[in-house]
Amino acid sequence: MSPSVRLQEMIRVIRGARTQGEERGVIQRECAAIRAQFRQADNGTRSHNLAKLLYVHMLGYPAHFGQMECVRLIASPRYNEKRVGYLGAMMLLDEKQDASLLITNSIKNDLSHSSQYVQSLALCTLGCMGSAEMCRDLAPEIDRLLRASNSYIKKKAALCAVHIVRKVPELGELFTPASRSLLSEKNHGVLHGAVVLITELCERNPETLEQFRKAVPELVQIMKGLVMSGYSPEHNVAGISDPFLQVRILRLLRILGRNNETASDAVNDLLAQVATNTDSSKTAGSAVLYETVLTVMDIKSESGLRVLAVNILGRFLLNNDRNIRYISMTSLQKIVQTDHNAVQRHRGTIVDCLKDQDASVKRRALELSLALVSAVNIRSLMKELLLFLSSCPPELRAHTTSGIFNAAERYAPSQRWHIDTILHVLTTAGGDVRDETVPNLIQLITTATELHCYTVHKLYRALIADISVQSLVQVACWCIGEYGDLLLRGECEETEPVQVAEDDVLDALETVLQSHMSSPATRGFALTATMKLSTRITHNVDRIRSIVSIYGSCIDVELQQRAVEYNALFKKYDHMRYPALSTTALGPVSSTAGGDLLDLLGGLDVTPGETRSYHVTRPGKTLGPNYRLFMTFVSHSHPPQSVQLQMKAPSGDVIPAHGLGQVTQTVLLNNPNKVSLKMRVRVCYTSQDFVCQDTVQIDSFPSPAW
Amino acid sequence: MMYFLLLLSRQGKLRLQKWFTPVTEREKKVTREMTLMVLARPPHSCNFLLWRDLKIVYKRYASLYFCCGLEDQDNELLTLEVLQRYVELLDKYFGNVCELDIIFNFEKKAYFILDEFLVGGEILETSKTAVGIAMEEAETLQEVTHTQSLKCDTCPNISICFFCSLNRQWRSI
């Protein structure tokens, strides 16, 4: 058998491989040799081979056959073999492997070894990968080591205990007494471990938390010692004495002071001292200040101290270091709800951070800006957000648009501003908006009755400029279809007058219909809009008729169906065209009739009948001979295939006035698949010589009905 | 606590990986996505980013990226100091450490220095000098026990006597 190469030689060979295939070949050969060697009796090369295997594992190749070798090596009496064995255990034997339990006994023996370096190996391994069972077995040993050993072992035992408590929280009680006494140690490593352990114990057990509140004065003393101490070469980092320990103590004080007046009072002075004395020109000092600020904001501190903390964050915001700006915004985000006004004062700087080049900083600034929107600053802040949107990174666009929409909805100072804002967003980032934006915008436009003229002009201009953004095109088509007459009239109070000819409008719609960029849904909108215009224009009805008949043979089934229906509307039901296609909102009707008409469908009752039919009743108004009932399915582009609708003849043509009678029309809905349905019911009628219509939406049918 | 510490080359090759929480091989592969994010960052970027629900802190030293994943309560700025400290320890021990040193000495040195500095995702020792001392003593022990079997005067049991004291007289069997 060929002698296997030394570790470093093997690494060299692997690195020298020119292709992935060559590397795989080398590794396969080596692994075969290693496996063979593992099977042999001990020949002094085991640790070597395991080390090679660990390198191969790090490159991403399978190494599970080394697990048992780790177990054997850990049990070896030789230190170097133990060392590699334990390293292998930490890399290959996580707690999910069955073989990990086999090392429990070895660890137990090694924990009592006479050499502290062997003890340390065992402690380190247990602290990194010990399973819950192993922890339960060995916890008493760890407790013993916490009490009676040298500093080197004590600090390792402390972190091992931390791991044990994380795995098996009930064992926390075992370690509580020992950890208390560890606070009087002078060695920083032990002290640090003790603080981490106490933090872990307090986080998991409220009773332990109560107990350790008594330790607050002691912790304050230790902290003061660190802050006021002179230069210590061993622990100094950029002028701060042991920032690692300082940060952990601050974190523990935060947990102890939370929701507790006494503990919070005891640390107020200390926090003020740290906040003012810590030099934050380097990262170490900033880290300590950062933790101090988090502690101040989380406990019941004095208001003066809170102000100081927010000011520190404000100073951080102006720091050149991006990391400092980032954590400043993260902290401000945490307190923006509770200390809203304090954070508002820094709005200007936060908004400036929107322009930073860095993606992380931008994200934080966006979150914070959205949280700072209020009725007072909506106009100016929205300008900044829209500016941000035009240059923001693609991964943030969807979040930005939805944030802008939410803010606009809550704080819009006027409807016109609201519509303008949404249109701006659609023009800039219409591809990244949510699906419900289109119906929401349509709803908004419908209710803003005074702005119909303005809106349709604006949307028309947007449409002829660019038809690539589907959401914008859909809304524009709908609007033109609905308010085309206003567009053609030419005058508008809010914008400059511009002459739009009927042909221009139809050209625009036809372009949308024919463009490759238009999605099927968009085409549907455009076709419907074209059809609707037939009742709003005077000269080009034939052109519309021809467009519609062309699409009657369109490949797209949905479009074809629509076109065929519209064709039918032209041919057979021409007398119904006007009522069917007139304005959705209550249109040009005289004021006296307006109020009465609103009642028309107000009392829409939907009751299940025996044969699964619904009786729709309307309390009395005079209906002329042009009464028609339309029922359409909502939020489906076409009715679900399984559902069938059958309309019976109404019981009468005329509803007597003043509630003296009613007309009933039965509609049968067959819904064998029990699909949940929403329906829109539209009633068209004439009343006192006016052609009118009303719409009502049924969002749910009584469930036992199906 | 720190969930993991990874050392990556510019091309994304792992030079050292330490997981402080049990993770399957498949999950480890998922972190590839995170490493690509880190490697794509322009210079002078913010050193913090969010990936899934973890805070990622990374720092580039020469040709190596040091990445670690943190819990929500962990202090990111302090973690930058932790990474700095680890690099300083490596530097002191190797003498001007470079990526190759770490590759060729991963098993003897890079991991052992790490294990004297971090345990279970938390800092073990905050003193700059204490880690160095522990490393040296452990190294001496390693060399002493590497090739020869040694027995000291007082201990009858071979398996204990290798280690019972560094100050004892060693005699060969």
> Does B19 contact A94 at a Cβ distance shorter than 8 Å?
yes
Q: Are A683 and A694 in contact (CB under 8 A)?
A: yes
Q: Do A159 and B120 touch (CB under 8 A)?
A: yes
The residue-averaged pLDDT of A613-623 equals 40
Tens digits of residue pLDDT in A321-364: 999 999 999 999 999 988 888 899 999 999 999 999 898 999 99
pLDDT number for residue A635? 41
Q: Would you state the pLDDT for residue A435?
A: 83
Q: Rank A489-503, A524-538, A682-696 by mean pLDDT and report only the highest.
A: A524-538
Mean pLDDT of chain A: 83
Residue A328's pLDDT is 95
Q: Which residues contact A695 (CB under 8 A, 6 or more apart)?
A: A584, A601, A680, A681, A682, A683
To the nearest whole angstrom, how far is the Cα of A300 from the nearest Cα of chain B?
19
Lowest-confidence region among A278-287, A315-324, A678-687, B160-169:
B160-169
Q: How far apart are CA B151 and CA A323, in angstroms?
A: 55
- The structure tokens 């957000």 sit at A385
Q: Residue A172 — φ and ψ, nearest 5°?
A: -55, -40
> Are A58 and B164 inside 8 Å of each other by CB?
no
Using DSSP's 3-state secondary structure scheme, residue A686 falls into strand
Calculate the dihedral angle through the C-alpha atoms of B147, B152, B157, B159, rounding to the nearest 10 degrees.
Answer: -30
- A693 beta partners: A684
Beta bridge partners of B172: B150
pLDDT in tens, B21-35: 988 888 888 888 999
Q: What is the pLDDT of residue A595?
A: 33
pLDDT tens digits, B97-114: 888 888 888 777 889 999
User: What pLDDT shows up at residue B35?
Assistant: 92
- Given the structure tokens 């993770």, which residue do they identify? B23
Under an 8 A CB cutoff, do B162 and A77 touch? yes
- Averaged pLDDT for residues A558-576: 83
Distance CA A693, CA A623 (A): 11
What is the C-alpha to C-alpha distance for residues A621 and A627, in angstroms, rounded to an integer? 11
Q: Which two tokens stand for residue B113?
A: 């220095």
pLDDT at A69 > cutoff 60: yes
Give the SS3 label for residue A632.
Answer: strand
Residues in Cβ contact with A488 at an 8 Å cutoff, skipping those fewer than 6 apart: A500, A501, A502, A505, A536, A537
What pLDDT, on the 0 to 100 scale, is given for residue A5? 62
Contacts of residue A83 in chain B, CB cutoff 8 Å?
112, 138, 142
What are the angstrom distances between the C-alpha of A694 and each of A474, A549, A582? 23, 28, 10
d(CA A390, CA B26): 39
CA distances from B50 to A177, B37, B72 (A): 38, 10, 10
Model pLDDT, residue A685: 66
Residue A535: the pLDDT is 84
A115–B45 CB contact, under 8 Å? no
Strand partners, B69: B4, B56
What is the percent of chain A with per-residue pLDDT over 90, rounded to a whole number? Answer: 45
- The ipTM assigned to this model is 0.86
pLDDT of residue A668: 73
Single-letter amino acid code for the residue at B14: L
Query: Of the ranges A658-662, A688-692, B72-76, which one carries the lowest mean pLDDT score?
Result: A688-692
**Least confident among A109-118, A330-339, A615-624:** A615-624
Least confident stretch, A385-394, A396-405, A642-651: A642-651
C-alpha distances out from residue A256 to A219, A220, A263, A511, A624, Å: 11, 12, 7, 69, 79
- Assess whether pLDDT exceeds 70 at residue A590: no
> What DSSP designation does A515 have?
-
Is there a contact between A117 and B48 if contact means CB atoms under 8 Å apart?
A: no
CA dihedral sign of residues A311, A314, A316, A320? negative
Among B103, B122, B139, B142, the residue to mutate for chain A (most A Cβ within 10 A): B122
Q: Tell me how long chain A is.
A: 706
pLDDT for residue A606? 41
Q: How many CB atoms lie within 10 A of CB B70?
A: 20
Which pLDDT does position A702 carry in this prediction?
A: 65
- Taking an 8 Å cut-off on Cβ atoms, the answer to whether A54 and B107 are in contact is yes
- The pLDDT score that the predictor gives to residue A551 is 86
- Confidence label for A241 from pLDDT (cuts 50, 70 and 90): very high
Contact A573, A531 (CB under 8 A): no
Angle at alpha carbon of residue A11, lines to A8 and A16, rounded to 5°? 130
CA-CA distance, A343 to A339, in Å (whole number)? 6
pTM, 2 dp: 0.77
List the structure tokens of A5: 């190469």
Cβ separation A156–B162 shorter than 8 A:
no
A378 pLDDT higher than 90:
yes
Contacts of B142 in chain A (CB under 8 A): 79-80, 83
CB contact under 8 A, A160 and B23: no
Which residues of chain A are within 8 Å of residue B158 when distances are taken between CB atoms? 77
Q: Phi first, then psi: what are they for A339, rounded to 5°?
A: -120, 50
Residues of B in contact with A91 (CB under 8 A): 17
Q: How far apart are CA A454 and CA A208, in angstroms?
A: 67
Contact between chains at A162 and B106 (C-beta distance less than 8 A): no
Element (H, E) at B61: strand B54-61
What is the token pair recorded at B138? 């452990």
Q: How far apart are CA B170 and CA B167, in angstroms?
A: 9
Residue for token digits 């007289």?
B169
pLDDT score of A581: 76
Contacts of A489 (CB under 8 A, 6+ apart): A453
Q: What is the DSSP letter of A456?
A: H
Residue-by-residue DSSP string for B92-147: HHHTS--HHHHHHTIIIIIHHHHHHHEETTEE----HHHHHHHHHHHHHHHHHHHS
Instruction: Tell me what pLDDT residue A687 has.
Output: 60
User: In this complex, which of B77, B124, B159 lies closest to A323 when CB atoms are compared?
Assistant: B77
Select from B47, B134, B142 the Cβ nearest to the Cβ of A152: B134
| Residue A489 confidence (pLDDT) | 80
Give the model's pLDDT for residue A630.
Answer: 55
- pLDDT 10s digits, B129-165: 999 888 888 888 877 765 444 444 455 544 444 444 3
Mean pLDDT, range A18-29, rounded to an integer: 91
The per-residue pLDDT for A94 is 78
CA-based nearest distance B98→chain A, Å: 16
> What is the least distance, in Å, from the CA of B160 to any CA of chain A?
7
Q: Cα angle at A578 between A576 and A579, to 5 degrees?
A: 70
- pLDDT-derived band at A610, boundaries 50, 70, 90: very low
Mean pLDDT of A537-552: 84
Give the burial class of B37: count Cβ atoms within 10 A of its Cβ; 0-12 exposed, 13-18 middle, 19 or more buried. middle
* A546 or B76, greater pLDDT: B76
pLDDT per position as a tens digit, A434-447? 888 888 888 888 88
State what percent of residues in chain A have pLDDT above 70: 83
Q: Is the confidence at residue A628, as pLDDT, over 70?
A: no
Query: pLDDT tens digits for A203-235?
Result: 999 999 999 999 999 999 999 999 988 888 889
The answer to whether the Cα torsion of B134, B139, B145, B146 is positive or negative is positive
Mean pLDDT confidence for A395-419: 92
- Among all residues of chain B, which has the CA nearest to that of A110? B160
Specify the pLDDT at position B45: 92
Residue A88 has pLDDT above 60, yes or no: yes
State the nearest Cα–Cα gap between B3 and chain A, in angstroms: 11
